[in-house]
Amino acid sequence: MAANSATAIPNAGMGAGTNNASAIVFRPIGWGDLDAVVDLFDRTWPQDVDKVGADMSRLISRYFVLHYLLPTTFANGAFAADGTLAGVTFIRVAGEAPQLDEIEVGEEMKALERRIDADPEAAKHMAALKSGFSVELDLEREGRANETTMGELELFIVNPDVRGHGVGGQLWRRMQEHFAAWDVPAFYLHTDSDCDVSFYDHKGLDCIAYRTASETVARLGGSADGEVPPLFDDMFIYRGKVTA
């Protein structure tokens, strides 16, 4: 999965966890929770470990978590009774201040990028992932995402060990309630074909823009052998009404 499309439920079976939604505590994500969020992100979407190594994969994952956190106005975490992170949603309400300090987040992103760029293979991987951001902006314009909504779901992850126990549903409901409290009538999100996009169809969202992987590669200059690099998937934007 391309890390720039991180609002999807990965295609994975339910884990063997025994937690249930009634035992989950929900609270805002703070700096002290960042390592746990990065661990869950890297576990869900590892960054080409065979080429860049586990340590560099985690650094790249940390960069992208911060990328989503930078504009986030409410980061909500679901925690099991033992403190395990069960899931997160990062959401953005247009015109509202970010939950964490933008300068502090931005400075850490710059420091991480310097460390990643010092490794040629990791730098190449990172550049390919970041190139997808321009495609996302194109899709937002094509789908008029920011013109027809006031919110965005930046990041949505459910720990596979608790999937199937209602955690994702509760995070989704609380996201809707937060949007409603800020009078947001509609929101959008980015996702891709490496994930179960039918989840959003089931939730009643509409696909307002998409780009196939081959079209993305062609837009970015193509590949020498004509094949689609594994970093790229079909990309989608979904828009939904706030129903809380």
Q: Is the predicted pLDDT of residue 5 greater than 50, yes or no?
A: no
Confidence of residue 3 (pLDDT cuts 50, 70, 90): very low
What is the tens place of the pLDDT at every residue in 147-192?
A: 999 999 999 999 999 877 899 999 999 999 999 999 999 999 999 8
Work out the end-to-end distance of the chain between its first and last CA atoms, rounded to an integer number of angstroms: 30
- Convert the pLDDT of each residue in 30-47 to its tens digit: 999 999 999 999 998 888
In this structure, of 14-28, 77-91, 205-219, 220-234, the range with the lowest mean pLDDT score is 220-234
The radius of gyration of the chain from alpha carbons, rounded to an integer in Å, stands at 17
Q: How confident is the model at residue 195 (pLDDT cuts 50, 70, 90)?
A: confident
CATH T-level assignment (fold) for domain 21-241: Aminopeptidase (3.40.630)
In order, the DSSP letters of the chain are --TT---S-BS---------GGG-EEEE--GGGHHHHHHHHHHHS---HHHH-HHHHHHHHHHHHHHHHTT-SEEEEEE-TTS-EEEEEEEEETTSPPSS-HHHHHHHHHHHHHHHHTSHHHHHHHHHHHHHHHHHHHHHHHHTTTTS-SEEEEEEEE-TTTTTSSHHHHHHHHHHHHHHHTT--EEEEEEETTB-THHHHHTT-EEEEEE-HHHHHHHTT--TTSPPPTT---EEEEEEE---
* 231 has a pLDDT exceeding 70: no
Nearest residue to 159 (alpha-carbon basis) of 23, 14, 7:
14
| Per-residue confidence (pLDDT) for residue 98, from 0 to 100 | 97
The strands making up 151-158's β-sheet, listed across from edge to edge, are 25-28, 74-79, 85-93, 151-158, 186-192, 235-241, 206-211
Residues pairing with 241 in the sheet: 186
Specify whether the CB–CB gap between 64 and 3 falls below 8 A.
yes
Section 121-136 average pLDDT: 87
